[in-house]
Structure formats: structure tokens, C-alpha cells
Chain A
Amino acid sequence: MLQSLGKGEGRASEELLPLVYEELRRHAAVRMAQESAAQTLQPTALVHEAWLRVVGKGGQKWLNRAHFFGAASEAMRRILIENARRRSRLKRGGDAVRVDIDQLDLAETGPEEKILLIDEAIERLQALDPEKARVVVMKFFGGHTNQEVAESLGVNERTVERHWAYAKAWLFQNIRSQS
């Protein structure tokens, strides 16, 4: 089914939808659970958008589910970054498109800024070590479990754990050293 999706058949896309939708929702739910009990969410909007973006490409060839998840996480990342930029821009008013790092003190950054900083740091990591960067994207933006990431990247869980722990420290260091 995933394969026929690659051929751009709209119908297959619909059939696939419930299957994968559930998966996408689940990730949002995992994050929700990590939050304090006071927070209740509507994850569907996010998931909906992510799905449309991922499937709408049509030309992309999906090899398997794991492959799809990697892409979905990437899509989610883009959506979130867009939202973060938009909000940040609105908060600051005017035309500032990129966050001006020099003017930020890490301790006082708002949520949007944090996300943007992380995203930029990930891009830097990506240039150096794409595999570790993919782990970060899948875990952080996609909310995947270690097992799922392992499946997607074709490594074992232990490796994923290692990458994640290291990458977090690396990114944090990187962000701090920029300001």
C-alpha cells in the first residue's frame, strides 16, 4: 500500500490515511503525556497538516513504514518551525525573519525562540553527522520511540539511545556557544 502511494495514486493515499493517521496522532499523544496533567491538547490539526504535506508530494517513493516515519517527522519539523517563526515574528512585530541570536539570552528565550535555535543547531549537526541529526528530528519533532527510530534508520535501539543522548548535549553546547 505504501508503495502504491509512491505512484501518486490519490486513492491509495486515502486508504493509507487511517493507518498512518493513527501513528501520527500517537506521537502527539506521547508528547501530551509528557506534559503536566493540566494541559489538554488538540493534536489533530498538527497531524492533519503533517499528513497532507507528506502525502501531497506524490512523487516521493515510500519504501516502507519506517521510511515514511522519517519523512513524517521531517514534515512535522517544518510545520512547527514555520509556526514558531510566524509567532516569533508577530511577537516582535515587523519584518524580522530570522531570529537575531546575538540579542538573545538563552535563559530568557520564549518557546518559539527555543525551537528556532534548536532547529538551526540541528542544521549544523546535519552538516557534520546526518545520522545523529535524523535521530534528533525523529525523537524531538516526531515524538517517536527509540524502537521506531531504530527501525527507520536501520540501526539497533542502543545506537539510537547513544545518538540521542550525545546529540542533545552537542546541540545544547552548540546553542550556548553561539550566544
Chain B
Amino acid sequence: MNTDSTNREEELFDAARRMTESGARRAFLESECGGDGRLRGRVEALLSSSDEADRFFAESTSALIAIELAGERTRGGTPMLPRDWAEGIGTRIDRYKLVQKVGEGGCGVVYLAEQEEPVRRRVALKIIRLGMESHSVIARFEAERQALAMMDHPNIARVFDAGETERGSPYFVMEYVQGVKITSYCDQHRLPIRQRLDLFIQICHAIQHAHQKGIVHGDIKPSNIIVSLHDGIPIPKVIDFGISKATEGRFSDATASWAGLPLVGTPAYMSPEQMEMGGLDVDTRSDIYSLGVLLYELLTGRTPFDAQQLLKEGVEAMRSRLYELDAVRPSLCAHELDPQELGRVAQVRGCRGSRLIALLRGDLDGIVLKALEKDRRRRYETANGFALDVQRHLVNEPVMARPSRWGYRLQKLVRRNRGVFAAGGAVAVALIMGTGVSTWLFLKEREARQRAVAAEQQQTRLRQEAEKREQVTQAALLVSQERFAEADRLLDGLSLTDATLEGAAVFRALGEWHALNERWREAADRFGILLRVNQLDGADVTSLDYLERGPALIELGDVAAYERFRQEAIIRFADGSPHFAERVVKISLLTPANDRLLEDLEPYGRVAREAYMEAASSGQAFEAAWRAMSLGLLAYRTGNYSDAVSWCERCLSSPDFNAPRMAAAQAILAMAQARLGRESAAGMALEAAREMMESRTRGRRDRGTPVQGFWFDWAFARILLREGEQQIEELAPRS
């Protein structure tokens, strides 16, 4: 045999392998081999065993890894000699008798053992793997034991004892947790989402406990969480803290080697910072990330990123992709599955495919994505915080992970109190909402007035109103189900002559929905109605509602309407409280103003300045920063550019971080600096403003994902930035 003949064989093998139909294959080989029976025989032999061959090599790859592990040497340069008790069933170690090997992982092997005294019971005995008794591995093993010994929590496997075998291999004895890994348990028992969340919450508490002891687990994944039954109740337990780090450096950390950079952990579950070279800057929030991946898997049956796929491109590629790729939110992930797969996934969650998607949408999406944030400052701070948000979802309270808006709160309100809403009545709403005195009074007064008005009405008008209210209520229900388009259609062309709280909430929610999707005309319309609704009553309008219309009008390009709008605002809030003054200033100055308007704004400016002082001195960073920004804008519009600069700088130096506000302040700063002839400072500020705006578009704009900052704050910033860009271009020297 030589290269030519192997090439020939290969050619035939390759071609024949692709033929799935055996008849065709046989015919092909016959014609190709001619009379060469040996050749044909060899090719056929190869073909028949090719599957087995693939398997053999795949298994051998694991064998390779086993050998790699065993290759580690002790400092002395010679490997420890293992003796033959490796698989020694029945072997005794101290007072424990080994019964069966139950698992392998990391640097140790776990056996089921029987403890003989002082009490007979089954335990798990974990011992260092043969051939791995190097210093670093022993140290890590010891670290794990100590970590576990420190913990005392029903959902964490307990350590009972520790010691060394005759040969000097360290071991420790743990609670024997008999069960299956959590994902398998949930699927086998077809646990619905609620029950899965209950189990998940317990796991969060366990991790929280570990964190409080200064231990970061570092390898949270389904196979490390076993569910066992105690008196018929499923109890999840966290096992295997094998690669956990002690955050206080109490133990010798065995993860560093000469170049310090092992890739230890399970790719699908590793947080971006764990993937980083070194993984040394890993903290409790990495565990939060892994918990997020776990939750994702419990909900959808898959992990957010397919590690196998990514690893094919290499570790570096995987790392950078993980930083770029946003996780697909659970409901969308489910939605994108092919129907058969979706059906299967839903079935093991005790429901149908469409129902599953609906269950995941909204809260759970937000919660999971918050835990999976690339920037760990944006994740949940603590495992308990994570658990609490899940709990809030379970009792239908607003969840922290989602932006807090009227529409959303109303939705939650309706859900929590379905019975009451069905019975109807603004009274019921008022009783439940309890959102503040002014709203309460507002409602009480309105109630009284409504009764008076109704008494005067004619029959037909009453009926008409009732119909409209019906529509509004229906729309409210649609909004609560996030069917915004339908709700919007229902209310199209509806002019409200009657004011209801429900109506206000619905129109506000729809206005925001349009604005979020940049349909400015519709947004302005809805807000317009909202304002009219409030106006009908004559009661004080929360200026928040008013705010929303302003930017919408500008984006719409309706300059005249905006002009009218801001003049009206100034009049309306003439007896303004300090709380509103800053907002009025802000709202009215989105475009340059004439002297008359500026004059009218003087009193507001004064009040706003006082309000700033008050906030600054009482340490209310948030309020102070916003007020400073508005004052900066006012100073700019009145031509006091240096004042504008100092106000903006004051705003930007605030400890409170708020991207849209900072973007706006930078834009104003840029314009002021430009007017003062400081070109480079202006350029820098403008660049900073642009960057902030970029950070907003990096997130996504639908309701399922939290975007930091209210949409209109962003719209504000965008409007100012546009002006800034234009102006700086105009002022740039022509060269």
C-alpha cells in the first residue's frame, strides 16, 4: 500500500459516504472498483464502521482529557503513585465504607458511602482524584471543604467531616444529596412556571447565604443544583463549590498558574467578566449572571448563548461575541422556536406554546435580562434582590426590572384586583390605588362632580358617555394585556368629554407607546387628549403629563403648536410650586425663545434657583442635578453663557448618574462654550453628548426591555443635541 492507493480509497470512501441510498452506493462501488475485489472490500469495511469510528474517537477525546488532568505533577517533579484502590468498592476510609462512585468533577471524585459511627447513615465522600495530588489541587480541594463547612443553609449541601486517607489524599464528607439536577427534575415532573420560580427563589437564597459568608460560587449551573425530595417536597440543593473563590483571600487560591489564566468554568454559564483573561475580577455579581442563565434555562429550556457554537470559533471570538451579543429575551426565544420544539418545551412546563410565550413576556423577560446585563453594575446587586423581584412577579406587584410607568402600574393593578375592576367604579380604583393625597382628593372631587353632572344630563347623553367609558375600559383592559395597537384603534377618533382616571391612564399609556416607537403625530394626539381630559376637570394637572407633549410636538415639527404649548404652560403654572417651576422652565426652552417669553419665565427661574439651593444643601443629588440642568438651559437662552457653563458643570458633577440628563447638559454646555469662543471645549462636550445618546440606542426600544431614563428625557436630550450639532457647525470657521 502507498499514498496513491490510500488516496484512491479515500476518494471512493468519501463519495460513497454521501450516498444515503444503499442501492446507489453499491452500484457506485461496483462500477468504480471494477474487478478489484480487495479494494471494494476495504472501502466497504471502512464505510460500515465509520459511525463506530467516529464514536470511538469522540470517546477517546474524553480519554485525552482525563489523561491531561492526570498529568499534573507535584513540585518534586514525580507524580504520586496511585495504588490500586481506585475503583475499590467496599474500601474503607476511616469510619466510612465506600459503596459506589456517583460522580466526577473538577479535581475530585464523589462516592456514596456509609457512615458507621456514631450513627449509620449514607453520606457523600469526595476525594481528590487519583494522580491529581499536586499542591495546587490539594489547596483548592481544601478551599472547597472550608467553604462548604462555613455554610449553614437548607439549600446548600452540608459538610460533616474531613480527613486524609492512609496515602495522604484529602477527602471530606458531605450530606448525600440524592436526586436529579434541577432542569431534569423540572422537566420530568412537568413543573409549571410558577413552581419553577419557587425553586429558583430558594436557590437564590442559598447563593445569598454563600455571598454573605464571603464565598463566590463561580460555577452555578444545573448540574450543581440537585433537587431531592423530603417528605414529598422538592428541595433544591447547591453542591460542588469546587471552583469557588473566597473573597477575603482566607484560603490559598489555586486558580492561578504561571501565566495566571486558566479557563475554568462552564462556558454557557460564565459571565462576561469570568471569560476575561484572568477572571480575577470576579465577584458576587458573576453568580447573579449565572443565576440569570439558570433561570433562562428553566423558563425556555435553553441557555441564552449556545456555547458549543461559539467555541467553534475560538475562545477569543467567543469572548468578544458574548460582549457584543445581546441575549434574546425569553419570550422571543420561545417565539422563535419551531412549533414542534415549542410544543415540547411548553409541555414540560404544563402549558401550551402560546401560553408559555405570554407567561414569559413582560416581567420575566425584564427580570432575566436584568440579571444577564453585560455591565455588572446594571444587574441585581444581590441574589436576594433577584429573588425578591421574582417574588414580586409572582404576586403581581410591579417588578423592579421594568420601567415604572403608569401603563405598567395600571396593568399590575388590574391584574392584582381583577374582581374589583370587573365590578367597576372609580371609587374602587381610588381605594386601591392610594397613590397619593392629591390623586385621592382629585378622585373624590371628581366623584362628587360626576354625580352632580350625571344628575343634570339627558338620557341620551348619559348613554353615550357610558358607551365611551365602556370603550375606555375595554381599551384599559387591552393595554393591561399589552395589546396596544388594538387599544389604540379602539380609541381612535374618540373624543372624551368625560374625565375618568382610567381614561387618563389609558391615553397616557398609549401616548407613551407611540412615543417609544417614534410615532410623534399619534403620540402628540394621545397626549393632547390626555391633557384635555385633565383640563375638563380644571383640577391641577400633574406637570408630568404636560411634559410629555412638549418633545412630541417638536419632534413632529409642529413649531406653532409648540409655541402655543409653552405659552400655555407658563400661564397655567403661574402660581407654580417649586416642584413644577424647574419643569416649566425645561419644557418651555426646547427652542430659542423671544424676550417676552424669557421675561415671563423670570419668576420661574427664581423659584427654580431657590429649589436648587434647597436640594443641593439637603443632599438630594437627583433633584439638584435636574434643576441645575434646567437653570443651565435658562441661562443659555437668556444669553448668560458663562452662567450656563457653570450650571451645566454643576449638573454633570453630580454623583447621581442619569444618561439622558447628562446628555442634555453636555449639549447645552457645548453650545454655551461655542458661543464663548471655546471651540475645543465645545467639541469635547458635544462628543460626550453624542456618546451618551449612543448608549441609549444600544439598548432596545420595546417595552420588554428596560431602557434607562424616561423616553421623553431622551427625546429632550436628542432635541438639544440636534440644536447643538447644527449650531456648532454654523459657528465653525470656514476653511
What residues of chain A have their CB less than 8 Å away from a CB belonging to chain B? 17-18, 21-22, 25-26, 28-35, 37-46, 48-49, 79-80, 83-84, 86-87, 90-91, 93, 110-112, 114-115, 118, 128-132, 140-141, 145, 162-163, 165-166, 168-173, 176
- 19 A-B residue pairs with Cβ-Cβ distance under 8 Å, sorted by A, are A21-B259, A22-B315, A30-B311, A40-B219, A41-B65, A41-B264, A43-B68, A45-B257, A46-B71, A48-B259, A83-B68, A111-B62, A114-B56, A128-B1, A128-B2, A145-B314, A166-B9, A168-B57, A173-B49
CA–CA, A166 to B46, complex, Å?
A: 8
Inter-chain contact A33/B53, CB cutoff 8 Å:
no
Report whether over half of chain B's contact residues are helix, strand or loop; otherwise say mixed: helix
Inter-chain contact B105/A33, CB cutoff 8 Å:
no
Inter-chain contact A172/B14, CB cutoff 8 Å:
no
**For this complex, into which size category does the number of interface residues on chain B fall?**
35 or more
- Chain A residue contacts of B267, Cβ below 8 A: 33
- Chain B residue contacts of A49, Cβ below 8 A: 71
- 17 further A-B pairs in the complex, CB-CB below 8 A; given A43-B68, A45-B257, A48-B259: A25-B261, A26-B314, A29-B263, A33-B307, A41-B68, A43-B262, A44-B259, A45-B72, A111-B64, A111-B66, A114-B59, A115-B64, A128-B3, A172-B49, A172-B53, A172-B57, A173-B53
CA–CA, A40 to B262, complex, Å?
A: 11
What is the minimal beta-carbon distance from B45 to any residue of chain A, in angstroms? 6
State which residues 257-276 of B face A: CB under 8 Å: 257-259, 261-268
The 4 A-B residue pairs with the shortest CB-CB distance in the complex, in nearest-first order? A111-B63, A172-B53, A169-B46, A83-B71
Query: Is the CB of B576 closer than 8 A to any CB of chain A?
Result: no
**CB closest residue in chain A, given B13:** A166
Inter-chain contact B14/A166, CB cutoff 8 Å:
yes
CA–CA, A22 to B277, complex, Å?
A: 10
- Chain B residue contacts of A112, Cβ below 8 A: 63, 67
- Chain A residue contacts of B61, Cβ below 8 A: 31, 34-35, 140
**CB closest residue in chain A, given B309:** A33
Query: Is the CB of B23 closer than 8 A to any CB of chain A?
Result: no
- Tally inter-chain residue pairs, CB-CB below 8 A: 179
What is the minimal beta-carbon distance from B262 to any residue of chain A, in angstroms? 5
- Chain B residue contacts of A93, Cβ below 8 A: 84
Contacts A39-B105, A40-B105, A44-B262: A111 and B67 contacting too (C-beta < 8 A)? yes
Inter-chain contact A115/B63, CB cutoff 8 Å:
yes
CA–CA, A35 to B60, complex, Å?
A: 11
- Chain B residue contacts of A128, Cβ below 8 A: 1-3, 6
Inter-chain contact A84/B67, CB cutoff 8 Å:
yes
Inter-chain contact B57/A140, CB cutoff 8 Å:
yes
Query: Is the CB of B324 closer than 8 A to any CB of chain A?
Result: no
**CB closest residue in chain A, given B62:** A35
- Chain B residue contacts of A25, Cβ below 8 A: 261, 263, 315
- Chain A residue contacts of B58, Cβ below 8 A: 34
What is the minimal beta-carbon distance from B221 to any residue of chain A, in angstroms? 6
Inter-chain contact B104/A132, CB cutoff 8 Å:
no
CA–CA, A140 to B6, complex, Å?
A: 20
**CB closest residue in chain A, given B50:** A169
CA–CA, A25 to B277, complex, Å?
A: 11
CA–CA, A140 to B67, complex, Å?
A: 14
State which residues 596-636 of B face A: CB under 8 Å: none
